[in-house]
Structure 1
Amino acid sequence: MNPFHLVLALIANCAWGFNFIAGKIGADHFQPLLFTSFRFLFLLLIMLPWLRPAPGYMKPLLRVAFLLGVGHFSMMFIGLNGGGNIASIAITTQLYVPFSAILAAILLKERIPMIKILAIATAFLGIIVIGFDPIVFNHLNAVFWVLGAAFLMAVSTVLMRRFPDMGVFRLQAWIALVATPSLLLLSLIFESGQLQLLENLQLFDLWTVCYSAVGASVIGHGILYYLLGRYTVATVTPLMLLAPLLASIFGIWWFGDQLGWRLVVGGTLTMGGILLVSIKIEKLTTLFNIKDRRFHKK
């Protein structure tokens, strides 16, 4: 990967890392469901030019849009709202990678090599260690919300393999269209004080909504899609694992988060396991000097 593309990867990681800060502030100010609905409303306005039907694939597309927009994002921002620090939330969201590998094995009958099974176990072990951090332990409900968000992301990832690549912006347009009214309805049911919030709303309060929509979705995913068009998934995906580390640093800088040793050790285990799950098996066998007869067949 050339230096320019590495810089783009760093920008995407920064955009996603700071999204945890903007999401935390926005969810605290607006309430999680209302904030998420505003986020998608703003994203929908941006993505309207890409809102085009997908003949023959509308049902799976709408299913994925609901799981991601309504399920994944609402649970993630609820977790951010209730979390004791940014690091534990940012690291836990990455469990969608091993969740995806497990679901692909179950639903798509994909084989998981022993190396990756150990990597998946290591990733989940890290989350268990993180759970015993005193700050995290007092906010375990937030971790469970984010675990649910990661699982729904994994389900959506597997389902997306069943219809052709439609482009990141087209997919996000449909996610925003489905999520905006659904989340607004859920906010009216489960949250309160929306009218008072709107009456006292100042223009500056919307920076978190704008950033989450533009910074994370348009810039972050736009760069990811650009890089995936030029490099393999196995090359690009490991580079994107920098986002949780940057989110943790931003959390220390912005909120004064404290990182205990359990969080550091658990985070290292989880991110190390996820990195190994993300790397192609050919690279893993070379890395560990393990021979797999599948790669020696003529």
Structure 2
Amino acid sequence: MTIRDFLIALLVPLTWGFGFALAKSGLEHFPPLLLMGMRFGIAALILVWFVPIPRRHLVTLFFIAFVSATMQYGLTFSGLARMDATPAILLVQSEVIFGVVIGALLLGEKPNLRQFLGIIIALIGIIILIGGPALSNKVFGIILVLSGCLIWAFGQVLIRKYTSGLTGFQLTAWVGVMASPQMFLASFFVEGNPLPFLLAAPLSAWGTVIYLGIVMTVVGYSAWYYVLGRYPVPVVMPLQMLLPVSTILGAVTFLGERPDPIVFAGGIVVIIGVGVVIIEPSILRKWRQNSLK
């Protein structure tokens, strides 16, 4: 990977990580579904003009958006609203674990021994996190975040199975087109009238909305699809292990969080387990050999 592409790749965990921390701040002014509806609405308005309409996939994308965006982000960010950003982002790493399990059940992609070992390690880390003081009396928040991770994994299976032929930008744009009105409607019925939240929000809260819509979604996903189209998945995926690092840095810097030692201990175990699952040694060795030629 060239230095230029590596710097572009670093935009992914940085924009997503800081975005997760800032979203925690935004949840102090907007309820979760309303905040995510605005995020996806902004991203859709920017991207939709540059990609063709996926006419054959519109109905499918409606249901995929409902599962992988409306339900998933509604659950995950409702959980985030009930706990600190640091333990929340570490729990979110269970998406990888759920992804492997759902892939095995629905796609027949059985995990190998290395991945199975990584799952066990990551689960131990999650147990350490849940047992720590940072998540004490936050059972409902934990359930919401982990449920969101499970729904995310199921949504990725739907995307892989039913969106063949669509580009990453089409998916990002049109999932946003479909998900944003779903989220606004769900917010109205679940969270109440949005007008009081919109009128009372300070400029800093609107800055968070703009960051989530433009930087985290448009810039972050553009960088993600750029490097994903040029390098093997096992080379790109390990960069996601930097996501908890950037989120914790953002939480400490912007939110004043001070994670306790158990959070760090459990987080390190989770990240090690996720690394064992997603890092493919043979492909990395082959890529490294080719890069030295």
How does the TM-score come out when normalised to structure 2? 0.90
Q: Secondary structure at the match of 1:161?
A: helix
Q: 3-state SS of the aligned residue for 1:82?
A: coil
User: By how many angstroms is 1:283 displaced?
Assistant: 5.7
Report the AA paired with residue 230 of structure 1: R
Whole-angstrom distance in 2 between the partners of 1:237 and 1:157: 15
Q: Residues of 1 paired with 2:263 and 2:274: CA distance?
A: 16
Please identify, of 197-206 and 101-110, the stretch whose mean Cα deviation from structure 2 is larger.
Answer: 197-206
1:196 aligned partner: 196
Residue by residue over 1:260-281, the C-alpha shift from the partner in whole angstroms, topping out at 9 and shown as x without a partner, is 2221111111111111111226
Amino acid at match of 2:22: A
- Further displaced range: 234-243 or 190-199: 190-199
Shift of 1:285: 11
Aligned to 1:90: 89
Aligned-pair Cα RMSD in Å: 2.1
Which deviates more, 190-199 or 120-129? 190-199
Q: Following TM superposition, by how much is the alpha carbon of 1:65 offset from its aligned partner in structure 2, in angstroms?
A: 1.6
Q: Counterparts of 1:109 and 1:149 in 2: how far apart (Å)?
A: 22
Runs of 4+ that moved beyond 4 A: 201-204, 283-286
What is the deviation of 1:48? 2.2
Q: Distance in 1 between matches of 2:193 and 2:64?
A: 30
Deviates further, 186-195 or 227-236: 186-195
Is residue 2:139 matched to residue 1:136?
A: no
What amino acid is the match of 1:157?
A: Q
CA contact (8 A) 1:60 1:159 kept: no
**Residue identity opposite 2:222 in structure 1:** G
CA shift, 1:234, in A, is 0.3
Deviations 1:43-62 (A, max 9, x none): 22112214643354444333
Alpha-carbon distance in 2 for matches of 1:284, 1:130: 30
Distance 1:248 1:40 in 2: 24
Contact 2:17 2:247 in 1 (8 A): yes
Give 1:202 shift: 4.9
8 Å CA contact retained: 1:20, 1:80: no
- The corresponding residue for 2:171 is 171
What's the counterpart of residue 9 of structure 1? 9
Deviation track 1:163-200 (CA, whole Å, cap 9, x = no partner) reads 32522221122211222221112111122352223333
The answer to whether residue 105 in structure 2 is matched with residue 120 in structure 1 is no
Cα distance in structure 2, aligned partners of 1:191 and 1:202: 19
One-letter amino acid of the structure 2 residue matched with residue 186 of structure 1: A
Matches within 5 A, 1:261-280: 261-280=261-280
Q: Unmatched 5+ residue regions in structure 1?
A: 287-298
Query: Superposition pairs for residues 52-67 of structure 1, below 5 Å?
Result: 52-67=52-67
Task: Name the SS for the 2:166 alignment partner.
Answer: coil
Mapping of residues 36-47 of structure 1, within 5 Å: 36-47=36-47
**Deviation, structure 1 residue 222:** 0.7
Moved more, 156-165 or 9-18: 156-165
Normalised by the length of structure 1, the TM-score is 0.89
User: Identity percentage over the alignment?
Assistant: 28
